Each structure stands twice: as C-alpha cells, then as structure tokens.
Amino acid sequence: MNPSRRNFGALIAAGATGVMLGACSGSNASPPDSKRAIVLIHGSWFGSWCFSPLIPLLAAKGITAIAPDLPGHGLGAQFPASFSVRPLDQAAFATEPSPLANVTLADYAAVVVQAVNGLAAAGFSAITVLGHSMGGIPITVAAEMLPGSIAKLIYLSAFMPVTGLPAGAYFGTPQGMENQLAPLFLADQNTVGALRLDTGSTDALYIAAMKSAFCADVSDTVFPAMRHLMTPDDPAQPFGTPTGATVGRWGSIKRAYIGCTQDNAVTPDLQQLFISEADKMTPQQLTEFHAFASSHSPFVSKPQQLADLIATIAA
C-alpha cells in the first residue's frame, strides 16, 4: 500500500473515531452543543475518507457527523495479490478469489447500528443516517432494526431496495443498465466474490472511464488522489441479500432522497425507480426528493452546497 494513502486514511479514521469517542466518553463529559447528529455511510470502493471535506462543514452548522468504514473498506481494505503485480496479469486478476468474499450485508449493517447506538447513548436526540450509493443498502437494514432510534434517512444517489429484490437485481433493469460501471468490471463477481475494478490501472482510457463514472465534475488534480484511495474489491454478498425492509419499521421513518442529476453510476432513472417503489410501498410516508446538480461524488465536487442541503433536510 502506498504510505501516503495509509497515513491519509489513518488521519481520517482517527478524526471520525475521535468524534465518536468524544461523544460517548461518559457522564463527566460536556454535553454536545447540538443534539443533531448524522452518520455518513460510504459507497462501493470508497471509505470514510470520502466524507472528509463534508464533516467540518456540517460541524460548522451544528451537526456532529461520524463516518465509519464499512468492513473491507478504508483501513479495513484487503487486496487480491494479483492487484499488486504490474503489468497487470489480466487472467489472474479475473480469477483470484477476493479476500472480502465472505463480507455480508449483516456485517455492514452492524457498523451502522453501532454508530447509531453510540450517538443515542451519548444523548443525541435527532440522529440522521445518510447512505451514499451502495451505502443505501446497509442503512435500509439498520433502519429496519432501529426504527425508534433513527429520526431520518437520507439516500444520496443511493440504492434503496425495499421490494424484496436484492440490490444487485437492479443492475439487470433497464434503468440499472444505463450506468457506466459495467465496462469497468474486470472479473465475474460469481467467480471472485467481489465487484472488481482496477483502481491502480495505468491505462489512460480506463482511468478516464472511472472518472466519468464516479466523479466527472471533480478536478483532474483531485481525481488521482481519490482513485488511489479507492479499493479494487467491493464484496458481492451484500448486493445479493434482500434488505428485509417492512412498512411498519423501515417505512415508519421519514426519508429524503438526494438525486445527483449528472450521476453515471446510480443514474437519475434508477434513482426514480427506487423512489417510486418505496413510495408505492409506503404511500403514507412519501420520499422527500431533492435534485442536486453534480456527479456521483458531490461530497468532493460540491461539499459546501451539499452540506447546505443536508443541514436543511436532516432531522
């Protein structure tokens, strides 16, 4: 691993952990100035690092934000051995089993539940949970588990599968096939147990395709740093497991959806499919929709504008 990548990830993780430890340090600690808090859950191939521009902007608005790494991401990332061999052995990379193949949706949801419970124990009374992209899957499961502890859900250009279909099934819908991700996959997920990209590619065309898919409006100076922080493997199991969302539990929580209008990963049409299915399931609790003019990664390209919007819609 690149030392600069390790150090940066450790810095971000330490910052997020510090917020959590400070909030949960016991009765002798000073109460938080604000009781508003938000848990930020990242998407596939990303980690808590992606929210580092956003967290201080939310803090300035009186919202305490924590951003844990999901298992297999950030400082918990693991890499197939073939990823480190350059030039890349395409055949080996396409067939080597992922060290993350056994990571489950339950593992993801446990991280969200722990974060929410920690904030609740610290006295935060208005807890919002935001999931970006794939992060919408585990926050849906966590909401089903903790409907009394989560005041609001925010889906940021995220998967919001509530019909009984697993999230991965949506890749096969007409709306799901509009995205620019498919050409980036370099292995069969059923073979390796992960959705595998070559985030360390030296192919200019492949790199340009990654930028277009994930962050077309991010500068050419910032994108290389993002790419080197992304991980090649994203566990496949969470995409194959239904969330189990029900009307009485998940459906009882207020929710908002921020739809990135220039998103090439979770496209606007797919966003609307998730919203329409959710609203059909819970007509008494409709999704509050907000269009946001950005690519898939607004926390990097437009963090101030995103913080402004989150502050107005969070619990």
pLDDT at 114: 98
Task: From 287, 254, 282, select the one nearest 272 (Cα to Cα).
Answer: 287
What pLDDT shows up at residue 26? 35
Q: How confident is the model at residue 33 (pLDDT cuts 50, 70, 90)?
A: very low
Look at residue 191 and give its three-state secondary structure. helix
Three-state DSSP class for 309?
Answer: helix
Q: 9-18, 107-116, 126-135, 167-176: which has the minimum mean pLDDT?
A: 9-18
Angle at 66 (CA atoms; ends 58, 38), nearest 5 degrees: 60
Mean pLDDT, the chain, rounded, equals 91
Q: Which residues pair with 291 in a beta bridge?
A: 259
Position 17 pLDDT exceeds 70:
no
| Averaged pLDDT for residues 230-236 | 98
3 state SS for 196-256: ECCCCCCCHHHHHHHHHHHHCCCCCCCHHHHHHHCCCEEECHHHHCCCCCCCCCHHHCEEE
Report pLDDT for 5. 39
CB 125 within 8 A of CB 315: no
Q: Would the pLDDT of 9 be above 90?
A: no
Phi, psi of 86 (to 5 degrees): -125, 135
pTM over 0.75: yes
The answer to whether residue 305 scores a pLDDT higher than 70 is yes
Phi, psi angle pair for 195, to nearest 5°: -90, 110
- For the chain, report the end-to-end CA distance as a whole number of angstroms: 39
CA dihedral angle for residue 258, residue 263, residue 268, residue 269, rounded to 10 degrees? -140
Which band of pLDDT confidence, cut at 50, 70 and 90, is reported for residue 53?
very high
| CATH number of the domain located at residue range(s) 34-313 in this protein | 3.40.50.1820
pLDDT tens per residue, range 56-108: 999 999 999 999 999 999 999 999 999 999 999 999 999 999 999 999 999 99
pLDDT for the residue numbered 103: 98
Read off the tokens for 228.
Answer: 């080197």
54-to-34, 41, 117, 298, 307 alpha-carbon distances in Å: 17, 12, 22, 9, 6
148 DSSP assignment: T
Query: In which band, very low, low, confident or very high, does the pLDDT at 142 lie, cut at 50, 70 and 90?
Result: very high
- As a whole number of angstroms, the distance between CA 79 and CA 140 comes to 27
Q: Residue 41, Cα to own-chain centre: how many angstroms?
A: 5
Give the H or E element holding residue 146.
Answer: none
Position 28 confidence tier, pLDDT thresholds 50, 70, 90: very low
Length of the chain: 315
Q: Residue 197: which pLDDT band, with cuts at 50, 70 and 90?
A: very high
The mean per-residue pLDDT over the stretch 268-286 comes to 98
